Structure 1
Amino acid sequence: MGRLPGPEPGAPRQRLRPGLRDLRTLVEGHLRERPSPVAVRVPYVTRDGYLALRAWLRTAHAEVEGVHVTDRSMTVRARLHGATLGEAPAVLLRVRRGGGTERTVVPVAEKDGRGFSFTVDYGELAGDAGPGSRVWDLFVRVDGGTSVRIGRLLDDVADRRDIFVLPAAVIGGAVVRPDYTVDNDLSVRADRT
């Protein structure tokens, strides 16, 4: 059996230019049930025009299906893949850096134990915002007490930060805005000047 054509082991990396990409199966990826581990791969074109691949591998994942924003709160609808909510579900909002501050919200669970929704009151997050910025990362506690990150991975968008810009609200002198991180996870940012 002969060797496959291609560079020799240890040869310099070769960058590829993208051609046509059929991403139709990714567009509705959030509609399919995914067992654990949840594996996601999204091809995209880099800023300098080359083909790249974003990949995630998580034991479980909570996929955002919708975010409804008002001037006082946000309501998130999500669905678990690779896990179920269990008997004592909770949505956890944790400050990303420093302080160990955490808020808990009780979600409304769907009958199947995988779909859920919750509302975050911006006033609670703004009241905790000292001078500067505070970023709250969102998790859901599932069966067995594990915390699963809430985000949007299961479609054809490799980087949501600049595409899905959600409206901000001004609460008690703080600007509060839900946004997506570099890893497409949902967070809430509170900035006080």
Structure 2
Amino acid sequence: MSPQRDTRLRAACAIDTDGRITFRLPAPPGAHPQLLLRLRPKKGRPETTRHVLDLEPERADGHRHAVLEPHPVLDEGRWDVYLLPEPGAERRRLRPGPRDLRTLVDGHLRDRPSPVTVRIPYATKDGFLALRAWRRTAHAEARTIDVTDRAVTVTARLHGAELHEDTTVRLRLRGTDTVRSLRPRIDDDGRGFSFTAGPGELTDGGGGAARIWDVFVRPTAEAPPIRVGRLLDDVADRKHVYVYPAIEADGTTLRPYYTVDNDLAIEVT
């Protein structure tokens, strides 16, 4: 059954430094209203993961609130937010009210333990409330991307793991087994690092076709590669917000960009 879409239903939300999200909305109909969080399934797949939160009454003005605690950790993906007027009732999609995301703005300044978890409330393209969630064993947060006329320099910081003397940055050509390895410059604290890539590192004889190189860091020779991206702030969808200029050198054009998952990649033509 399709959920009702009542444009009057709006939920405000605020998130604290621990990732705890408080939802608040005017008293809805029903004796025991709840919030339903649904992990959006991939196209053609059934729904499999949901969380239900009780909406508790507030004495002051008749509003109700629900709290999503940091645990259990949400699976990585997009979570749509619905109102259940009472358990088992037909769900109703919620629109966003005010969103207080101030604690997320400087989230990249705090070191995160493993697993690295992120939750960002946001408005969908069609104007409804949703959460963007990431859950990774470790994460390399891109901080600055400096584009010159000859190369791209990326500064990043590792969360949930530590760098070692044999750390490498790995540029993997998407859809192939081709990998380019670079030696990064490592900060004294063993967490921050930077690297520079230019046409010499990102050519593979592929002719004029566009190629995409995904960016990873490997803390040690035996460790699995860790994706480099930018997750630790208040931007849920970065691809069309952070746009970088292209480099044209030696007959090659390079352009760094963020993917739909907010991971860092470099496009080469």
Q: Give TM-score, length-normalised by structure 2.
A: 0.66
2-structure distance, mates of 1:180, 1:160:
6
Could you tell me which of 110, 128, 132 is aligned with 1:32? Answer: 110
Corresponding residue of 1:52: 130
Name which one, 1 or 2, has greater alpha-carbon Rg: 2
1:19 match: secondary structure: strand
Q: 1:19 to 1:90 in 2, by over 3 A?
A: same
Matched, 1:89 2:138: no
How many aligned positions are there?
A: 188
Where 1:18 maps in the other structure, the secondary structure is strand
Compared with structure 1, are the counterparts of its residues 183 and 46 closer, same or farther at alpha carbon in structure 2 (3 Å cutoff)?
same
Higher relative contact order (CA 8 A, sep 6+): 1
Partner of 2:200: 123
For 2:92, the equivalent position in structure 1 comes to 14
2:207 pairs with 1:179: no
2:146 to 33, 57, 68: 68
Shift of 1:86: 2.0
Query: Which AA in structure 2 matches 1:39?
Result: T
The residue identity in structure 2 corresponding to 1:114 is R
Aligned pairs for 1:108-187 within 5 A = 108-126=185-203, 128-143=205-220, 144-187=222-265
Residue in 2 that maps onto 1:80: 158
Q: What amino acid is the match of 1:139?
A: F
Which blocks of at least 5 consecutive residues in structure 1 are unaligned?
none
1:79 counterpart letter in structure 2:
R
Kindly indicate whether the alpha-carbon contact (under 8 Å) linking 2:32 and 2:87 is maintained by their aligned counterparts in 1. Answer: no
Give yes or no for contact 1:29–1:155 (8 Å, CA) kept in 2: yes
Native 8 Å contact 2:117 2:135 kept in 1: yes
**TM-aligned CA deviation for residue 18 of structure 1:** 0.4
Judged with a 3 Å threshold, the aligned counterparts in structure 2 of structure 1 residues 23 and 166 are, in CA distance, closer, same or farther, namely same
Normalised to the residue count of structure 1, the TM-score between the two structures is 0.91
Name the stretch that deviates more: 151-160 or 125-134: 125-134
Q: Secondary structure at the match of 2:104?
A: helix
What is the CA deviation profile of residues 105-134 of structure 1, one whole-angstrom value per residue up to 9, with x for unaligned ones?
A: 100111111111111122331454433111
Mapped contact 2:199–2:252 kept (Cα < 8 A): no
Unaligned segments of structure 2, at least 5 residues: 1-30, 35-83
Task: Please say which of residues 4-13 and 26-35 is displaced more in the overlay.
Answer: 4-13
- Kept in 1: contact 2:199–2:250 (CA 8 A): no
Report the Cα distance in structure 2 between the residues aligned to 1:116 and 1:70, rounded to whole angstroms. Answer: 19
Residue 87 of structure 1, CA deviation? 2.8
